[in-house]
Amino acid sequence: MLRLYQIPLAIIEIILTPLLFLVASCCRFRRKRIDIGLGPEPLINNLYHKSALEHYGYSAQTFVADVYFITDKFDVRGDKIFSGKSRYLKKPLKYLVYLHLFILSLLRYKCLFIYFTGGPLGLATVFLWRIEPLLYKLAGIKVVVMPYGGDVQELSRSPNLLYKNAISVDYPEHRFRRRRIASKIDLWTRYADHVISGCEWVDYMYHWDTLMLAHFSIDVNAWKPAEADTIPAKGGKLRILHAPNHRAIKGTQYFIDAVRELNEEGLEVELVLLERVPNEEVKQVMASADLVADQLIIGWYAMFALEGMAMEKPVLCYLREDLQQLYVASGLIAPDEIPIINCSPATVKQAIRELASGRGRLADIGKRSREYVKKHHSTEAVGKVFDRINRSIGLSPSGRQ
């Protein structure tokens, strides 16, 4: 049922629908100059995915409606289209930004790599998001869809009670999105040309064409071990870096409590918290850390863990046993291959204690961590998977442009 404020938008969308169908049909015969568009969510993953695709000869471009604090290094930024305009027109202008990016995607890209939120029409439209897949098919554009987290987290499907509780703490409004999330999972699972899954996203999805440990990729040349003279001398406090974007979901309080209790026991451990800072600042601080504390709730690792591992930092993270079994059985990893220090809220204190008293292990874990990232999550490794997917849907690289 439409809310009162949605009625004017719905009327506008009814008027726009025939025009969008006409534009999409005409774009089918247009020569598109870029192989792949990545967006419209402003996720740092897309920057690495662009590099991964370019490594295999694809031309690629990132496009976003807006940016977060993490990075703003995207090729096309919708937030700049109407920059400087009256703040009273913000919402109408943002709606125009979404339409602009959608038309751009029809005109410019042969294929889209998007998330389950959908393309630009999925960001805020009343019902146009439901016909977005059809419009792309009319335009002759292939679509590869993958999850990133909140876009698929329909929590009635999750077996993880700790995670349900954390979402309720950090994002209580998430419950109002459940039906739309489920609808979009159905929509894009049915109509995308290729579906990727991995991580703990498998809890919420019922089909995928390609299973990955996670589609996260990272530039291992940009994220690498720090020069020796930038690292403080060992023997002082064990320095742990934690950079949560949502505290309950990451289990931040468990890390805080564990370090406080260890300090009370006389163990020299320091927890460095970074919140809402740019990615480059995280990298600088990470160079001086002994350990990286990722998360203790979700049950799998993500970008922050990969950044630490690429810099040869041992990583504390909770890895669910059933997910490990899935990825081993699927042939993606060997048993005990992941060098992450697996710990839960109940065991994180003991894990830190053991590492603090046995620091000789840290260097070896760090080296194995970087090798793991190079094998499974480098732009070259993920680009190889993307290249295989693209060729399976009839897209071959045209070269960088």
Which pLDDT tens digit goes with each residue over 178-203?
999 999 999 999 999 999 999 999 99
Query: At CA 39, angle to CA 38 and CA 40, rounded to 5?
Result: 165
The reply to whether 80 and 211 lie within a common domain is yes
pLDDT value at 88 more than 60: no
The reply to whether 188 and 324 lie within a common domain is no
For residue 170, which phi and psi values (nearest 5 degrees)?
-80, -35
Give every strand in the sheet of 269-273, ordered side by side. Answer: 269-273, 238-242, 291-293, 315-317, 341-342
The reply to whether 189 and 266 lie within a common domain is no
User: Does residue 398 lie within any of the structural domains?
Assistant: no
Q: What pairs with residue 211 in β-bridges? A: 197
User: Does residue 137 lie within any of the structural domains?
Assistant: yes
Q: What is the pLDDT of residue 382?
A: 98
User: Does residue 1 lie within any of the structural domains?
Assistant: no
User: Does residue 16 lie within any of the structural domains?
Assistant: yes
| CA-based nearest residue to 200, from 295, 117, 301, 292 | 301
- Of the chain, the percentage scoring pLDDT greater than 90 comes to 81
Q: Quick one: CA dihedral 203, 204, 207, 208, positive or negative?
A: negative
CA 297 to chain centre: 17
Q: Which residue has the tokens 């204190």?
A: 349
Residues 213, 327: contact at Cβ < 8 Å? Answer: yes
| CA-based nearest residue to 177, from 155, 199, 202 | 155
pTM reported for the whole predicted model:
0.92
Structural domain of residue 167, as residue ranges? 6-217+380-392
Give 369's pLDDT tier (boundaries 50, 70, 90). Answer: very high
The reply to whether 18 and 100 lie within a common domain is yes
The reply to whether 166 and 271 lie within a common domain is no
In this structure, what CATH number is given to the domain that contains residue 240? Answer: 3.40.50.2000
| CA-based nearest residue to 128, from 97, 99, 91 | 99
User: Does residue 255 lie within any of the structural domains?
Assistant: yes
User: Does residue 344 lie within any of the structural domains?
Assistant: yes
In this structure, what CATH number is given to the domain that contains residue 116? Answer: 3.40.50
Average pLDDT, the chain: 92
Residues 70, 46: contact at Cβ < 8 Å? Answer: no
pLDDT value at 86 more than 60: no
User: Does residue 399 lie within any of the structural domains?
Assistant: no
The reply to whether 248 and 336 lie within a common domain is yes
- Of the chain, the percentage scoring pLDDT greater than 70 comes to 93
| CA distance to 152, 225, 353, per residue, from 129 (Å) | 16, 44, 50
The reply to whether 213 and 242 lie within a common domain is no
The reply to whether 130 and 208 lie within a common domain is yes
The reply to whether 177 and 56 lie within a common domain is yes
Rounded CA-CA distance 242/7 in Å is: 44
pLDDT digits (tens, 9 = 90+) for 30-52: 999 999 999 999 999 999 999 99
3-state secondary structure of 113: strand
Give 400's pLDDT tier (boundaries 50, 70, 90). Answer: very low
Report, as an integer, the average pLDDT of 240-252: 93
The reply to whether 294 and 152 lie within a common domain is no
| CA-based nearest residue to 349, from 273, 235, 256, 270 | 256
Helices (H), 157-271: 161-170, 178-191, 247-250, 252-264
User: Does residue 400 lie within any of the structural domains?
Assistant: no
Residue 128 burial (CB count, 10 A): 24
Rounded CA-CA distance 333/326 in Å is: 10
Residues 147, 302: contact at Cβ < 8 Å? Answer: no
The reply to whether 360 and 387 lie within a common domain is no
Helices (H), 279-347: 279-286, 303-310, 321-329
Q: What pairs with residue 292 in β-bridges? A: 241, 315
Both tokens assigned to 321? 């046993």
Into how many domains does the chain fold? Answer: 2
The reply to whether 31 and 170 lie within a common domain is yes
